[in-house]
Structure 1
Amino acid sequence: MDPNAHKRRKIRETREAYQHALQDAFDARCTTQTEANDVVINYDLSGYAKNALKKYVPQLTTTYNAGELHDNHPVRFTNEGLRLDHQPENAIEWYVKIPHHEDYHLWMPAQPNPDQRGWLEALNAGDATMGESRLFERDGTWYLHVTATRDVEERSDVSAEERTPIGVDIGEASLATVCHRNDHGSPTAPELWADEGKIVRRLRKTYFTAKRRLQTRGSERIAESFGDDVWRQIDDVFHRVTREVVEYAESVENSVLVLEDLTYIRESMDYGDFMNRRLHGWGFAKLHAQIRYKAVEKGIPVETVNPRNTSKECHACGEVGYRPRQAAFKCTNDACWMGEYQADVNGAINIADRYLSGESHSREHTDGDDSAEDGGRLTAPQDTQADATKQETLGTYAS
């Protein structure tokens, strides 16, 4: 979007008010919409932004147990808040109405992402349903991320039993690990993104070290700018890895990607207070969300399973083992042939096997909120059980 000076000032006012309201509600550890409403009601925001906050803050404080917020949080609006206007005969084809505060809205010229223009046209024609939207600024340019959902025809008649499950293990050491079993039931073609895990760990360490140093000097604005650049680099790594995960799935006939259900992620993270805080800062939800929408675009189904003990059980015999080293899993069953195995690959196979055991369930975004990925340091997709009709959900960007 390219607003004029007046509109640019107004949307910055909206962003500032939203950030204050979000931080106050988060600091108050609001666990219900009623509690959040008591905090945000007095802010000069539209009802669409307040309603999005009332839904979002309890998710951060209860479901995700987030410890902190991003420095530059996008402004969220519920699905009723935005309006699109398409005038294809004009030089500027698209305008979008952004809620500023009660009874005052801003019509902004917008340039759609060419790869996702069809989704905006589907929204404008009523062939897709608009979900939650997010407004943010990057390098002086304003962007609007709109969630859209539409019904699509199933791309394959392959039954769930005929599909080949590919387990996806998300971790800190290896950013992602994928593996599946071949026709004989043996684990085959594992792929790990360990170097990318090192890159992200280094970037995060650099960010937090520099942030503390700059804040000590009182350079808050420089710290914020530096942080934005680091998180963009991390996001670039995330996008490349998730694209390659989906390409891996494309190479396997009749594949289904199997992820851990993030609604259970807290119960699977019991490593003590220090490691829990560290792992809650990992980008699980963002990686999951990116894998989801990239897989949808390629017609690859995504399923989720309960992650409990996927990293602790032996994929060969089911015995609970341990990790003598970060990258190694040791089976404690003397009768098991496996002995020691690559830990992340073992976890990926266990995730895939839970699909085969019938534990999996499809998670589609039918509530208009594709994920909470841009909020707390651990923010997981809020999914609801899918209808019988398959739906596609995609975040579309306009700038």
Structure 2
Amino acid sequence: MPTLTIKIPLFEPTNVKKEMYETMRSNFSDACNQAIQLKKDDSKMKASEIDKQLGHFLLPSTLVQEARKLAVSRYQDWNKNKKTKGFPRFKKKISIPFNNQNWRLRFDNGFLKLGIPTLEEGNLTVDKYVPLKTNNYSLFWVNFLLHGEMDKKSKFFNKSYETISKPRKSNGHLFFKNGKWFFSFVISFVSQNEVLHSKAIGVDRGLKYIAVAGDSETGDYLHFDGKNIGHIRRKFSRLRRILMKNRNLKALKRLENKEQRIIQNWNHVISKQIVEFAQKCGASIIKIEDLSNIRSMKKFWKSADRNINSWAFFDLELKLTYKAQLAELVVQKVNPFKTSQECSKCGNTKKMNRRGSLYSCSCGYKKNADVNASFVISTRPSINENLTAA
């Protein structure tokens, strides 16, 4: 996968900002040196224990983790070659690394601005972004990174770039050089051919299992049982009926808010674990069914299936999409037609093959029906691919 490094100077940072960056750089260097010494003294020390030991440094938690990762990597390299290499030490003038999830770019008031975790209190808000000093070359690539489209009229455009279908941001670094502070970052490019042949996992959403993520190549899968969720939904449904009967609107509103918080928490947990499962499988694509018309099917559901209507399928989809983007994964939608009736082994599709929670095909293949459906989804072409082919 080709990559490109862009280096942009910070635009006239204040003295307060400069002092803060210098403090961060010094503390980061010290944290790296302490972490590598801890690893030398106890090579089996866990990452969480090292992070705890580094907790006294005045650094954002993300940079404490980056210091530990960098130190452990240097230690492992030294440990393999310690007969020929001296024990490594980190210099004070070290660059500060940020992984792809911890830095942001945005345009604001005519400036390109950078958002990174610093020593400033509170969350990273827009007012904490710092302006960058851009030129036409850096703007060409930044616009492509942020908007996914190249300016073909630019002098920096090359016809060979037409094969590039998606830019991805990678790690960034804040560093000081020749009296100026710079931020550099890496953009990696994915060709259309790479996208079409990338590994994918499938995610099936349903009743018995809220979600099942499956890897058809290895047969591995991850499922989330819906029994507890169903119990919670039925409980809230009963309470809602009582409050409505008593016309207690304030209590009803509080109940709805509490219910939504529970839903969103579950969706956060589920989406996070699905993304981690995809990374573990080595997949770069997560495929899900296009459930745009699921609400129109409500009249065909049994009363016991009430939970599917009340369960926030689309909230889960939104959370899965943005968490996947942060992890540099792609979410694609596929046609949901008969995914529960198709055999993931031979492709045979018969309604009678699915009997409740069991899928049994005439080819001899047997599997949990939802797991089989997730395998089928993982192998189906995305809707966008179908449109392109048409």
If the length of structure 1 is used for normalisation, what is the TM-score? Answer: 0.48
Give the number of the structure whose residues are more often helix, by fraction.
2
Structure with the greater alpha carbon radius of gyration? 2
